[in-house]
Amino acid sequence: MMSIGTTFMFLGYDVQSMMAESVLHSVSTRNPDRISEYAGYYGQAIQYISFAFFSLFTATIQYYISSKHMLVLSSILFTTCYIAYIHVNSYIFYSSQLLLGFAYAMYNSAEGTYLSEHSSRRTIDSNSALETGLGHTSLFFGGVTMLFVFHFVPHTFDGHFLNFDEHVVQVIYFSLMALTIVSVVLFTFLPTKQFDSIALNTSRVTPSMLAQFISHVPETVKTDVQKAILWNLETM
């Protein structure tokens, strides 16, 4: 069920990633004051930076929220981000990309945790392969969807970008939002009971927030701080 939910969630994500710059360029061409013509590129950059940054901290959230609830929350955030394309606005769009990076980081953390909670040492390999294989079929279906868009959805081509009417954009992104809502429903009904899982048979230690933060600090930084403290003590 998690694999199917992943497929629906990333089907929408893959399609919007491929279409974002063309869609935003279309809006900018008609209304330059609403958003930059290069907003698709800027948005992707913000999303990747957000993903990299929040990946340092999303593992910590698992001590306070179950992996299932993290999957549900991340899929809800994915769904919410499509609103930025329904009525394009610079502030809403860039904020949504920041939020999308956080949602992606949270999904990545929750996915592995949920698998370990519902897999034994005997089944973890097959479950991981199944989840990855089925989940990544979103790339195939995303490609098929883009072929459909290129051949059947009304648009013009200016030599560099596809240009879409705003009503067409709204229909496309409402459709992608509907697909992602399916993933929200599927993640909501994921089973929570664990049977002889790796996580169930492993002792759980919840470190303090300070200890978790320190664990992310590189050893070289820790060593430099220790040297500075010793130097200050010696010179006092």
CB 27 within 8 A of CB 35: yes
- DSSP-assigned letter for residue 217: S
pLDDT at 117: 78
pLDDT (0 to 100) of residue 125: 75
Residue that is written with structure tokens 């969630």 in the block: 9
What span, in angstroms and rounded, lies between the C-alpha atoms of 201 and 195? 10
Give every CB contact of residue 1 below 8 A, 6+ residues apart in sequence.
Answer: 186, 189, 190
Is the torsion defined by CA of 51, 53, 59, 61 positive or negative?
negative
Query: Does pTM surpass 0.85?
Result: no
Q: What is the pLDDT along the chain (236 residues), one digit of tens a residue?
A: 778 888 888 888 888 888 888 888 888 888 888 888 888 889 999 999 999 999 888 888 888 888 889 999 999 999 988 888 887 888 888 999 999 999 999 998 888 888 877 777 777 777 777 777 777 787 788 788 878 877 777 777 766 677 778 788 888 888 888 888 999 999 989 887 665 555 555 555 555 555 555 555 555 544 544 545 445 455 55
**What pLDDT does residue 130 have?**
76
Beta-sheet strands, E only, within the chain = 156-157, 162-163
Burial class (CB in 10 A: 0-12, 13-18, 19+), 108: middle
Distance between CA atoms of residues 15 and 161, nearest Å: 16
Residue 131 · residue 119 · CB < 8 Å: no
* Half-sphere exposure in the Cβ direction for 59 (13 Å, CA): 11
Domain regions of the chain by residue span: 2-204, 207-236
What is the maximum alpha-carbon separation in the chain? 77
Q: What is the pLDDT of residue 196?
A: 56
**Rounded Cα distance, 154 and 23, in Å:** 13
Distance CA 115, CA 6 (A): 13
pLDDT, position 222: 47
CATH class of 2-204: mainly alpha
- The label of the residue with tokens 């330059």 reads 32
Tell me how far apart the alpha carbons of residues 37 and 29 are, in angstroms, rounded to a whole number: 7
CA distance 123 to 143: 31
